[in-house]
Amino acid sequence: MADRRIINAIATLERGAALSNLEALLRSQTSEAGGLESYAERFPGTPLVSPAGDLSDSLRRVRDDVGARGSTEYALSVMMSAASEILERQERRIAELEERLALGQATAEL
């Protein structure tokens, strides 16, 4: 098995790189297609999370807040949720572009 220090160092470096990428991608996706719902809107029956803002706020906490960064469960859950949100928005965008392309081809054939 590899040296635990090496494994931990790689995990820290990769999480930092992934976090930067996720923040940039989420920012670009939400600026193009509308903002993110707040936690109060997404989870209306859960008042405990209402003041937490939205997913982009949670990503910032993973980067800036030692407590959030130190909770592997929180950090990975937020990062996974951000990746899922980005993928979902990209899938919708691809579907819209495919639809436009199909309409353009159909019009050109007339």
Residues 6+ apart with CB under 8 A from 42: none
Is the pTM higher than 0.75? The answer reads: yes
Q: Which one has a higher pLDDT value, 107 or 15?
A: 15
Residue 31 pLDDT class (50, 70, 90 cuts): confident
d(CA 36, CA 40): 11
Which pLDDT value is given to residue 110? 63
Span 39-84, pLDDT tens digits: 999 999 998 988 899 999 999 999 999 999 889 899 999 999 999 9
Residue 12 structural domain: 4-109
CA distances from 69 to 38, 58, 63, 75, 76 (A): 21, 10, 7, 6, 9
* pLDDT over threshold 90, residue 33: no
User: What is the domain count for the chain?
Assistant: 1
Residue 1 pLDDT class (50, 70, 90 cuts): low
Region label for 68, one of left (φ > 0), alpha (ψ between -120 and 50) or beta (otherwise): alpha
